[in-house]
Amino acid sequence: MNILHIDSSPRRQSHSRQLSAAVVERLLEVAPGASVSRRDLGTEPLPHAVADYAVALSTPTTLAAPPTGSLDVSEALIQEVEAADVIVIGTPMHNFAIPSALKAWIDQILRVGRTMKSTPAGKVGMLPDRPVFIGVASGAIFSGERANQPDFLTPYLSLALSSIGLKTQQFLPLQATAFLDWNDTPLARKKVLAALDLSVVREPRGMRSGPAALSSTG
């Protein structure tokens, strides 16, 4: 099994990084032979869309004959996604939504004609589905009865991933971190991980004729 592990927090000891690392650890417990590929958007941010990339995506004609090198970064990132059997994303909530570092990644992997196509009914994903686990850390509370701020992160990221075919998603929110004593974070993280459902994780594609679900370790 190949795991693509993505982080987007600029802080090396952030809650979202620890949460995503814990998810990867659980995956390795049930699939100890799995490989892990890292994409650290927080410490090694991607360039935001540049002129040549915008030109390439602007019309069907330019997509068919894009400027030289304009799609190289996009293609490399898409191939990372294609090589993964499972994707784990760690992200903080910045101002009600995802950080710009994660948005830069999304802008490179959502590509008409490569990962999605436009139809009269809307965007249709072109990539095979695979599980995506998203660990979200928020200083405030954005879901549940005690929510005191809006949540644009979850619906946006869910739609973006679904639009390229990644529809098996699980969001794992760690909320109110601004009021959480650092010594209490392991317990808070454990409570979030209790909802982790690894039954959606399958044997790597092509390994078996019939998929066998991996069981969650709790």
Q: How much is the pLDDT for 204? A: 58
Closest by alpha carbon to 6, among 47, 32, 43, 55?
43
Give the model confidence (pLDDT) of 123-154 as tens digits: 999 999 999 999 999 999 999 889 999 999 99
Q: pTM of the predicted model, to two decimals?
A: 0.91
Residue with tokens 């059997």: 85
Q: Nearest CA to 108 among 69, 136, 73, 65? A: 73
Q: Pseudo-torsion of CA 25, 165, 204, 1, nearest 10°?
A: -30
- Which residues neighbour 65 within 8 Å (Cβ) at sequence distance 6 or greater? none
Q: How far is CA 46 from the centre of its chain?
A: 15
32: its two tokens: 């100890």
Cβ atoms within 10 Å, residue 16: 26
pLDDT at residue 206, rounded to an integer: 42
The pLDDT assigned to 203 comes to: 61
Residues (pLDDT < 70) of the chain are: 203-218
